[in-house]
Amino acid sequence: MRRFAIVLSSAVAALATLCACSSAMGKRTLFKNGKSDYVIVIPADASKSEETAARELSDHLAQVGDVVLPVCTYPDVPGKNLSTGKCIYVGMSGNGAEEARSEDDEGFTVRSAGNSISIVGGKRRGTLYGVYSFLEKGFGVRWYTPWFTKVPSWDKWRFGKIEYSESPAIQYRYVQYQSAEDHPDWCARNRNNQLGTAQSNPYGGIEAYWKGHTFEYFVPSAKYFDSHPEYFSLNGGKRTPSRQLCLSNPEVLEICKEGMKKAIAENPGYWVYSLSQNDNVFPCECDRCKELEARYGGHSGLLLWFVNQVADVIKPLYPDKYIGTFAYQYTRKPPVGIIPRDNVVIRLCSFECDFSHPIENGGYNQTFLDDIKAWSEIAPHLFIWDYVVNFRQYLAPFPNFGVLAANIKTFQKYHAIGIQEEGAYDSYCTAFGEMRAWVLAKLLWDPTLDTYSLVREFIEDYYGVAAPYVQQYFDLCQGLVKDETVMICSIDNNPLYTEDFIAEASEILENARKAVEGDREMTSRVDCVRAQVLYLKFEIDRAEARKDGTETELFRIVSEQKIGLAEGYPASEFLRINKR
């Protein structure tokens, strides 16, 4: 997809600017008419990400003000800049002073002192995040998608007193959308610090949780089942491969201990390593497993008894690493009489929840609310795996925006150190996927932000002249949620989408299409929204969709945009199966 930058007037951009940074109120001029007396200064021991921060600041100011601010390394700074203070210090305070911050501190402070501005945070990512915040708050820059950045244009920029600090609400922030997965630059700019794979990069690197369901990885059925069926779960009186493990078997425990040692040695870049159940609901039913479950309060107790023993072996070898396990489906209910070791991370999954209403409201979500409360009382490290998409129908509208901030606040309330927001990680252009990814990144950093203000901002900038119609359609979707609505993350043909809804949505989006006719880029963006309703019409009545052209138009958009229709269901497969 094409990268695209939108240029706005400084008058419009000023609406997104903090008063402290306002050009109208400031007496000091950073630049005017393409000229500046300022330089950017980094410390002599600048980290790679601080070097990136200075470069990003210089590059973006060049776009914002058509001005070049050289990057200097302290103390090799022009004397006139040191004497006048006309410096933007990145990673240090003025005149060579450095603030005492831990390397991994992701918080930052932006402040002015006379003519100078300093942006200081932790050396790994904090300073970099501070630069991005300064560009957002001071100049209205937005990195909405990997291919679309909003860069307002300023003739001049003045500042007065600036002083603000930020730090993340959540330590580990994982927006699991393809916008993030494929683009570490987008992640850094939107302060998303975790992905599926650990990586070093100029942006301070990416944290990662090693793997998910791993019982089959550590004790593969193909290797062990024929010779040791007793390693595997007993179900209905029969040992079965590729389901779960017999966790009470001491040989299975030893295999997993050795396997985990090897996994950490071979994959050193991760902070936590998963020792977790396979993705099915067939735990072992043997007498010894049942005995341990009775002792420790159920399936989660047996799992934790097993995981704790592996964690005990790992701790002296890798004191800075953690062992993670799931509280998922049959292991979601907390145990009794046993607690996680201090190097164990509990990854609690919200899979069964209703995602149309906040978890804190209880009701359908009361059992999950009870579980997160109980886990928070015993788990030293609680990590949330949340769900923000309908995995069975990526293109079906999923009106969950009203719960995003509320649920993050709930997870924060119960001491979550990390949140993974699993969305359409294997496809672009799903139902408001790019917008949801950007909104989630903002909320994971600061869940007190107003979700609908973020949505309006994205829609206005991203859809241009079609924005009023897209906003109208978005509001129509969100309006589907009633007090009695229950919306899970894995459902076919949700009854929410009535004929009346589809008819009204179709009319709105036809107006959106007409508004951008002739503009190839905007038509492409609007097509991704139109595909939602075209898909609903196709699913409800395929014969009629074939007659009225809906099918042809849907297939065109899916083909051009390469839209996956569901988890693991790419455009190519959908078109192969359905095209005639």
Split at pLDDT 50, 70, 90, the class of 26 is confident
Provide the pLDDT for residue 13: 35
- All structural domains of the chain with their residue ranges: 4-166, 172-451, 469-578
Residue type at 207? E
Burial 440-464 (b: 16+ CB within 10 A, else e): bbbbbbebeeebeebbebbbebbbb
131 and 57 in contact (C-beta within 8 Å)? Answer: yes
Q: What's the confidence (pLDDT) of residue 6?
A: 34
> What integer pLDDT is reported at residue 494 of this predicted model?
87
C-beta separation of 77 from 87 below 8 A? yes
- Which fold would CATH assign to domain 4-166? Chitobiase; domain 2 (3.30.379)
End-to-end distance of the chain based on CA atoms, in angstroms?
28
Q: How far apart are CA 366 and CA 352, in angstroms?
A: 11
User: Same CATH fold, 172-451 and 4-166?
Assistant: no
Q: How confident is the model over 185-235, as pLDDT tens digits?
A: 999 999 999 999 988 999 999 999 999 999 999 999 999 999 999 999 999
Q: Average of pLDDT values for 52-62? A: 99
Q: What mean pLDDT is predicted for residues 26-47?
A: 96
Rounded Cα distance, 485 and 478, in Å: 12
Mean pLDDT of the chain: 94
Interatomic CA distance for residues 265 and 132, integer angstroms? 35
DSSP state of 15: G
pLDDT at 50: 97
Q: Which residues contact 13 (CB under 8 A, 6 or more apart)?
A: 139, 140, 152, 153, 154
- Does residue 443 have a pLDDT over 80? yes
Give the CB-side neighbour count of residue 503, counting CA atoms within 13 A: 3
Q: CA distances (Å), 179 to each of 27, 198, 432, 444, in order? A: 40, 17, 12, 16
Short-list 301, 308, 184, 317, CA closest to 263 = 317
List CB contacts of 185: < 8 A, sequence separation 6 or more: 146, 203
Quick: pLDDT tens for 69-78.
999 999 999 9
CATH fold of 172-451, please?
A: TIM Barrel (3.20.20)
Instruction: Give the up-direction half-sphere exposure of residue 350: CA atoms within 13 A in the CB hemisphere.
Output: 33
Q: Could you identify the residue written with the tokens 């000091």?
A: 28
Over residues 96-136, the pLDDT tens digits come to 566 667 778 999 999 999 999 999 999 999 999 999 999 99
